[in-house]
Amino acid sequence: MAPTFAAAPSSSVCGACVPAACHFEGRSTVAAARFLRNRVEAKRRSAAAWPLKAGLWDSLRSGFVKNNNSTQTVELPSTPLEVEEPVPEELVLLDRTLPDGSTEQIIFSSAGDVDIYDLEALCDKVGWPRRPLSKIAASLRNSYLVATLHSVIRYSDAGIGITCTRSYLTEGDEKKQLIGMARATSDHAFNATIWDVLVDPSYQGQGLGKALMEKVIRTLLQRDINNITLFADNKVIDFYKNLGFEVDPQGIKGMFWYPKL
């Protein structure tokens, strides 16, 4: 059994946190002089007790590990461990030339760059019911990971017949559109759950949903989170199975609680 420590009860009369041994003899008939002397003594003992308490907490802070034979003291770090902030990732998944000569890039990003009005428009396209914008913003803000797909179209310069580069673009020469998103919540250590996976219908069937999910999974694994779950409609179960997800693994069932109105 690991050693236990109990703090002695304090004396409410002394007005200071001191051991219970600091009490008054003859509590009902204490002379004023003795009362004052005991108050001075209490303060002295209290001052002496604080270094003892500090030493006690220092010893507790070092920790104890119990094995079968002896108790071994394990030193904890003197300073809190710093948690590194994940570095956002951005990469081009697809780069192609459109029939009108403009170029389009499909860009994946884990930086969480989402405009809630763009997200609402994307949800409308896939037929999701509308939700309060304040709650959408809160869900994004409180997510562990928000991944996006953006289409960036750079229009050609018809005057010289070449495609504009970013350095020569003026307002209106480039169009950026949110075409996909997925987010994940997590305990930042063991588990993550993926939510709100959606891709613009006009971009479906091109492998972008699969690429988005693979990047989300890889990002979570890189952050040492290995237990990844999600909730899927019947019509997309095969899609997630092809990504390695299992339905009810080892008989585990999802449980839901809804308010009964």
- Whether 116 shows a pLDDT value over 70: the answer reads yes
**Cα 102 to Cα 52: distance, rounded to the nearest angstrom:** 76
Tell me the per-residue pLDDT of 214-258, one tens digit each, with 9 for 90 and over: 999 999 999 999 999 999 999 999 999 999 999 998 888 888 898
Tell me the per-residue pLDDT of 46-96, one tens digit each, with 9 for 90 and over: 444 444 444 444 443 444 444 455 555 555 556 655 656 678 889 999 999
Res 19: pLDDT: 38
Look over the chain and give the mean of its residue pLDDT values, rounded to a whole number.
Answer: 76
- Residue 144 CB contacts under 8 Å (≥ 6 apart), including other chains: 184, 185, 186, 188, 192
- Residue 219 CB contacts under 8 Å (≥ 6 apart), including other chains: 86, 89, 110, 145, 147
Tell me the per-residue pLDDT of 152-182, one tens digit each, with 9 for 90 and over: 999 876 533 444 444 444 545 899 999 999 9
- Whether 32 shows a pLDDT value over 60: the answer reads no
- Whether 100 shows a pLDDT value over 70: the answer reads yes
**Cα 175 to Cα 147: distance, rounded to the nearest angstrom:** 19
Do 151 and 104 contact (CB within 8 A), yes or no?
yes
Mean per-residue pLDDT for 194-213? Answer: 97
Res 34: pLDDT: 46
To the query of whether residue 155 is one of the catalytic residues in this protein, the response is no
CATH number of 90-157+172-247: 3.40.630.30
In the chain, what are the domain boundaries? 90-157+172-247
- Whether 108 shows a pLDDT value over 60: the answer reads yes
Q: Which among 168, 203, 240, 258 is annotated as catalytic?
A: 240
Res 250: pLDDT: 87
Mean per-residue pLDDT for 17-36? Answer: 42
- Residue 97 CB contacts under 8 Å (≥ 6 apart), including other chains: 103, 104, 163
